[in-house]
Amino acid sequence: MQFPSPVSLQWISELINAKIIGDKNYSATGINEIHKVSKGDLVFVDHPKYYDKCINSEASYIIINKEMDAPENKAMLVVENPFEAYCTIVNHFRPFSPSSKLKSETAVIGEKSFVYPNVYIGNNVTIGKNCIIYPNVTIMDYCIIGDNVVIQAGAVIGSNAFYYNTNKNREVWYKKMPDCGRVIIEDYAEIGAGCTIDRGVSHDTIIGAGSKLDNMIHIGHDTVIGKNCLIAAQVGIAGATTLEDGVTLWGQVGVSKTLTIKKNAVVLAQSGVGGDLEAGKIYFGSPVQDARTKQKELVWVKRIPELWEKVMVLENKK
């Protein structure tokens, strides 16, 4: 999430009761979790395992629970509980804002767009020109819909991210991180009936221009889908994953988190993707591998009983 304008570290330190190590005259431009940080961002870390990753990331300001020297051009904000500090900042800039109308007064709908009955459009939503939004669609706060977009009945755009802070030393092990990200659906994309697209935890979930999603697909938080991708029914994609332009996923493919599927790759139905995939290849299986290799393997698996019978015949002749 980018702040409306740069915010001084001194003000932030007072909000979260933090001690600043480093230059107090800096200003932060946003807050993000580690997968999406960039220069000017705040990030939090509360486990020694991830200290180095956060400190050496693009983030300029680190909310941390251990005093240590700040690297050059960075600052540390030391607090007892960095996760709670993160939540305080997010809730300050994106407080819960109830909406009792089907269309929020802060929503903007472009000319020649048609919205069917029983569509909910939340706060600060922007819908472009020439869109069709079918019945029972839900578009949550801060989502951005481009021009010439079609969203079929029952889709949910901007649902809460499935993302939790884990600490097994407290009564509630999994504590939800408040969302402050968005969903951006670019021009000429189509979203099928019953799809669910989670908002980013602190950045954006993006559906690229011209991409087409079939029915009953789930897209996890902070996932970026490129332009002109084709995704068939019942695909599930976990959080912070990247699909580059022209990727095709056929029905019931499952894609794990924080990986990249490169341009024009094709994954055949019911496959499981657990790691990065190269561009322009066809994949199949769970875990996936080159489709031809996998299909040859399946042929040999089917021949195992026949081969075993031949082995037993030879053994009996000895």
Cα 122 from Cα 160, distance rounded (Å): 13
Is residue 203 annotated as part of the catalytic site, yes or no? no
Other C-beta atoms lying within 10 Å of the C-beta of residue 74: 19
User: Rounded CA gap, 283 and 272, in Å?
Assistant: 10
Order of strands across the sheet that contains 27-31: 2-8, 27-31, 41-45, 61-64, 75-78, 19-21
- The Cβ of residue 300 has, within 10 Å, a number of other Cβ atoms equal to 9
Are 63 and 44 within 8 A, CB to CB?
yes
Identify how many contiguous H helices and E strands the chain contains and give both numbers: 5, 34
Element (H, E) at 29: strand 27-31
DSSP 174: E
Q: Which of 47, 203, 218, 221 is catalytic?
A: 221
Bridge-partner residues for 159, per DSSP?
198
Q: Quick count: other Cβ atoms within 10 Å of Cβ 240?
A: 22
What's the full length of the chain, in residues? Answer: 318
Q: 34: burial class by Cβ within 10 Å (0-12, 13-18, 19+)?
A: middle
Catalytic residue positions, numbered: 221
